[in-house]
Structure 1
Amino acid sequence: MALRGFNLFAFLVVNGVFLSRQSKEEVLLDMRSLGSELGWLTLPYENGWEIVQTVVNGSPLYTYSVCNVDSSDQDNWLRTTFIQRRSGASRVSVELQFVVRDCNTFGSSSVACKETFNLFLAEADADVGTNFRKGQFRKVATIAPDEITQGNVLKVNTETKTVGSLSKKGFYLAFQDMGACVALLSARVYYKTCPSTVQSLAVFPETVADSLREVEGVCVENAIGQATPRIYCSAEGDWVVPVGQCQCLPGYETTADSCQECKPGYFKSSVSLASCQVCPRNTKPSSAGATECQCEDGFFRSPSDPPTSPCSAPPSAPRDLTATTLSGEGRLLLSWSPPLVTGHRPDLTYSVACSICDGTACSTCGERIRFETDPAELRETNIIISDLDSHLNYTFTVEAHSGVSQFDPERASATVTAALDYTDPPKVTSIHLEKSGPTSLSLSWSLSRRPPAHISHRYELMYRRKEAEGERDVTTYTVRILDKSFVQITDLTPDTTYIFKVQALSPEGTPGSFSTEHEFHTSPLAEPQIQNSSTAVLGAVVGVAVILLAVLAFVVLRRRRLSSRGRRGAEDPYFSTDQLKPLQAYVDPHTYEDPNIAIQKFVTEIDPNAIAKHKVIGVGEFGEVFRGVMKTQGKGEVTVAIKTLKPGYSEKQRQDFLSEASIMGQFSHPNIIHLEGVVTKFKHAMIVTEYMENGALDTYLKDHDGEMSPYQLLGMLRGIAAGMKYLSDMSYVHRDLAARNVLVNSNLECKVSDFGLSRVLEDDAEGTYTTRGGKIPIRWTAPEAIAYRKFTSASDVWSFGIVMWEVMAFGERPYWDMSNHEVMKAINEAFRLPAPMDCPSAIYQLMLQCWQQDRAIRPRFADIVNILDKLLRSPESLKTIADFDPRVSIRLPSTSGGDGTMFRSVTEWLESIKMSQYKESFARAGITTMEQVLALRHEDIRNIGVRLPGHMKRIAYSILGLKDESSSLSVFAV
């Protein structure tokens, strides 16, 4: 029937309400597109929904309406025909266009009038025809209009509902009217697909859009990937978050969405996204699809040269080799010019060999001479040689080498012969006293160079007695000619000083130059010797006494230092002599106009060839995280964690990705995650950090629930506090300190990480930071930071208190299942988390200090480190356990069912505390009623088969809570 006094459908057609659509949707039913009777069933057959036909542009258009507003108890149904569900489409959308008239326009007769109708759905594996039973349908939604038609201007509403988890071959839709004046203009049923696509050189098939679905792809022809390429099809039919990258095979380059073979004269040697390159110098022209270009005749590549390098000829011999005697005795400069043919290689080096020839045979010089630089791999074209003997013939051979020298059958060398023939005898450089007696002195002397083996020098020794002051200076010397470089002078006066000088003479008698004068003293006679011995004994006694006093002073100072260190306590590690200087303040990389400057200033660039990714260990905001290795000098391969930037990133995403590295690069502390460096000069940017074998702290604690003592947990907390003290000393606020952002290595050392939310303290009196927006981790954040979005080191202290609770509770979620709103309300009402089970009282008291409402009276991180050190030095202080109340320690629906009554079965209770895996264990043990559950003791739970400490605690807590009906109303209180 038509709406009262109004030709609705003519109005709709005339005013163009029905609009065409273009989308990625696969339509299963479209009421408007059907050009014949719809065949929909109505119930009741009369006085309910009725079909109205209107001709538009020569085609019939069918709509349904109902308007029984004057009669109460309306129950009018309209059912569609059978809608086939296509394979994979488990989720469909139902789009409705309808008009609803305002009930007030019908006056007082419309008491039972409504302004909504209901949408139902029933699944079936086959068409049931006219067998229409309302009981087969389940309600999908109540359809309410956004706009209600009151006058002659009709308000058309569009409503879309999504129906999921469809599993049968098809389904029916039904519309229930319970007294509204409504016209159903259009009903369209469709599902979305992600169309087939090629991304990152991988082909992905058309995929039905459901919830977020991972789809595997196949590399295009002539491409390969390290791992199977993947992408996600969203519920909206969009491809998002591609993972993995296909790359063209050697001999092929990327062209649009395919890999094309290299043109003749070009080549590509590796699997990559790079373009083909022109064949390098001294190579033969290549054919199409070449992976390398062969060298021309006479030209070669070194085995270490990549295929992209040009070919080169072996070097020719060095030119213009000369030997020049240098000032100073026994030194020679060997110099030469580079070869005419170098091959244009960067690895051209030279080697120098020396031999001595005597006319009949030659032998190597060996250690008889000294090269002042390594003669094996010279880059320079000269070398200095010393310790050469005069009157010998030396032959020096210089060879040129490069990476392709092994392909040259002839050695590229040059040879020169040099001889050092000194006509002057060597100079005596010093005279030594070997032995002293009352009437004799034994002397020897050194020469400026070794004399040749076949030449014997003689020496002229001159000496005289040194006269005392006032005596006439007698310059008459005693002269002796000697064949050796040592002598014993006798017939001297006891206790007397003599002056000596020596010069060398050539075989022909030519004198050299005298040495400087040296003074030596003869010994006194016997009586002075005894007196001297007594003096020596006395000196020895005094010396021993001095040594004993020094040892005693050292012991006293050592004890004072240890005593002082004991008084300083926990702060000692931060005030060693090399750390007394104040830490350099942290610099916010966001203050740089060009973020790349911050990267260059604070971060080490790593050669991408030194990085190898092995296994995916996680997914970050910007891409995947790998465990891999990094090649280093001196350490070999080091295991590292590698954060990657997914393909298709924007420049802003790249800068945001690298900003964390600019922050980490400024930190150096054993309890802060260490940044190895970044890879930025490569298409795929990477952040490389040390690898923490045990992963995130919260996960590690959950996996080892109950396996560590409070003392071990305290040691882990001390490491975290030390890292946060370091950050605080650098005027730095973390803002997201939580157990999930602390990493654990194989030695159970904890290191603070994840600086994505971190910011620097502003330089003002309050030392606060106002955030620029974004999400706040409510459960870990101080109340002033939540309320005013201002962060300080004091707010980090609050977060550290929550971390302490997480650690002592073995990774339990803070505030359990409370909503964020409930958490904020509880904190503002002065409620705090209770002590975890078996938590030492001293540790819980420190937590409460960290959770002071007034941030000014919270402890500093320096105070926290000091307190934790004192507790570690006194393990007995951990024996006192904080009061534990099971009613406030776990917030699960463990005391009653949903209606406020005690649980009706053991199964229902176990499911409520998420321990349903033990249903069979309880049944086998004969525990079938809640009364039996209440009687269980700790050892009974273990005997049932519950072995994991965390599961035992959860079940035990719940049983304790069941014994107190008021536990369901408990809140978290100090």
Structure 2
Amino acid sequence: MDCFGTKHCLFLFVLINNVLLTLQTKEEVLLDMKSAGGELGWLQWPSEQGWEVLQTVVNGSMFYTYSVCNVVEGEQDNWLRTTFVQRRPAATRVFVELRFVVRDCNSFDGASLTCKETFNMYAAEADADVGTSFRKGQFRKVATVAPDEISVRGELKVNTETKVVESLSRKGFYLAFQDLGSCVALLSVRIYYKICPATVLGLASFPDTVAGAEGGALREVTGTCVANAISQEPPRIYCTLNGEWVVQVGQCRCKPGYEAANGSCQACQAGYFRASLTMEKCDLCPENTQRSPAGSQTCPCREGFYRAPEDPTSDGCSGLPSGPRKLLATVRAGKLRLSWLAPADTGGRDDVEYSVTCQQCEAAVCQPCGEELRFEPRPAPLREPHVTVSGLEAQLNYTFTVEARTGVSRYSSQRATSSITTALHLTETPAVTLIRLEKRSSSSLSLSWALSQRSGRAPRYELMYRKKDDGTASDITTYTVLVLEKNLVQISDLVPGTVYVFRVTVLNPDGTPSGNSVEHEFETTSLAEPQVSSNTPVVLGAILGGGAMLLVVGGILLLHKRRRGTHSRDGAEDAYFSGSADQMKPLKTYVDPHTYEDPNMAVQKFATEIHPSHVSKQKVIGAGEFGEVYRGMLKMPGRKETAVAIKTLKPGYTEKQRRDFLSEASIMGQFSHQNIIRLEGVVTKFKHAMIVTEYMENGALDKYLRDRDGELTSYQLVDMLRGIAAGMKYLSNMNYVHRDLAARNILVNSSLVCKVSDFGLSRILEDDAEGTYTTSGGKIPIRWTAPEAIAYRKFTSASDVWSFGIVMWEVMAYGERPYWDMSNHEVMKAINEAFRLPAPMDCPSAVYQLMLQCWLQERARRPRFADIVSLLEKLLKSPESLKTIADFDPRVSIRLPSTSGSDGSPFRSVVEWLESIKMSQYTENFTRAGVTTMEQVLQMKIEDIRNIGVRLPGHLKRIAYSILGLKDQTSTLSVFAV
């Protein structure tokens, strides 16, 4: 007999080759079987014919393993209990790392029916060591341990599994391992908990912190600013379940006069300063300032130089400006225009402003100009080097003074001015600038006009008018000419409905026209029109506007009335389930197997009985609520051998467990759809009951997507969603409500066809602290459940549609956990406050809009599965519709790591940046390409990233979006927050 087949020399080869392996992690070890270095003293029950200890000397050291191999001796119940493990009070969640070997049951002749390839792990809490006292009832099951690889004769396969023990509250605990008939050896048991190690981040010191518990919120830790650093609010950070620090809040910053260096705040050197918390580093004293002592917050100005109160202390000091240059006065159209050039020396400032003052001089006596002068723009302050003055009197001298000022001019009595004196002889004739229509009729027009400037004398006017050309050719234009003393006239004897052209000119003192005139056109009314004054268009506009408003209001009231009538006919249920007769009529109706008094009758009606000889189990692929799940083969007479999944019912089951086990088969047996998991048959008439279904090579959808992040196209993802929606449409037409639709309950085959699974579990809403649904298969998280199902236990196809929206988000986010690390209470509160999950990275806009429709608060307004299938099929028929991407902000997305350093500022090295986004494997690629600074990283484009050797689509997008986030952060100085 070979060594593998005996219990006393079992697994020696594996032990020698694996005993020296160590693992360096952020962990606090409570128990380590390999490093104990002596007899472990673990309790074996029963004391004989069960677990046995094997002692082995390797390199002069003694090592211990435990093994059991009673597979040929019928039913087994062998227990191995550890010694008392004391617990740190904060460690409510511990990890158990198991290294073990399991032998193939097929290698034992005659024991295949009783042999197991799994064993169970249990835990029991206590406040003190109970010694050798042992009671099975004190233990609660933690997990069924199934190997990934089974050892066959002559070939040993070592498995490593890590299980989690949750919700520990007492001073210590025991672990126990139960054998029900397997051939297994425990090589190593290591119990530890994770901690976030003491660290200094963002100039804040944080202590060692035990990682939080599964399902709870992140553990918040308050830190302390280092010496000479301050914070507006206490610095806080969160410790994750994996012992990692994330999401720092309340950054510490060095006080003015200090700068951050090596995790501490150091005083600025002499000649340097740091004025505020917004500055990162001490700066060299700026221009025109004195040398500062060490630790300075500012640098004082040199004599003759100044700094305005609004000037940042980081700016240099300024001198006074010189006066404006080349002051010039010109007259045009009765107005005086002053213009000048900027000062030759602005004192180093760009806030130069000007003010203009005026004096009126007559007979050597000057006084300030009167209020009749008008400046355009106002004379002070002026930003532009020019101003226009009107209202000047003729034959008077005016002196204009222009002063240049800056923000520091107030600190000196010196004035920077330039002056000009001009004697203006305003003899030019003013011009007519505007002709207005005051009143009109069919035979007359009343007109008035205005002048460009005041005149010292009363002007006379020449009015010329004619009919507007009617299109006939003529070389002669005939005007009627009137000479007027006033700027108002009524012209009579005109032709009705005719356009006239008017021109008004001011006459010079000698009676000749000044030549400054503008033509205007006005039309008389027709004989059918009433007389219209100048305000008639306003009145007509008001009448028309009021009429339009009445029409709009009437339309709104009519529409509201129709809607009220519709609502009065259809309730919320009718609105959701209304549709055509074809849509509402299912092919057949689902029958609840629980209505059968005997579950065997339901199974016989809906499922095919299979003889156990036709089923062969090959490998354990998981552990369900009722027992192990195997991959195997089904060979039915007359059919080709096919791969199947085999669910088993564990020994010692209760009658309720058997009823629930068979109910799942009774439910699946009623369904026949390409997107629903197919039931091959059941084994119920023999000792070991089994459910046999088709085998899905790629397993659960959420794990499949996480393992292939970024490797699938949007078209492939949408096609997966279409398949899931088609399956749910079929179930909805069958009047079956799934209640637990989630990516973990969708299976994927080798062709990427998605099929809905997990049927038949009874779900009861518990009033527990986390607000979860307790089922015979465990607790279903709130984050997939519609709000009305939580609040009112109202499960319908509409609540399944809500869950499908969450599945859509999971698929487009490559298996990301919905609502991330938020607790169930936080999720329910957020949903009730109208929060909805943001669009995943690269999610098509049309797909995200469909998600939002699925998450409408009012369930009657959500789309039906028939509508969802139709829309997804349209998107697949028009792939270009998937190119429009929904808005995505890399600073907010929790899927991406932070795009900034630990203190909220951009990273200072490429290595630090790559480590933060978990892409450090590309460090050498960036170095070979010569990209060694963050400034070079910010210039990179998608082609540059691909050219340096980043080929995987998921990695390419992660790096590209991180660069996008860095660019946005650099331009806006925003802080990453969640």
TM-score range with shorter-chain normalisation? Answer: 0.3 to 0.5
In our comparison, the structure showing a higher alpha carbon Rg is 1
TM-score using structure 1 length: 0.47
Higher RCO, 1 or 2 (CA under 8 Å, sep at least 6)?
2
TM-score, normalised to structure 2, is 0.47
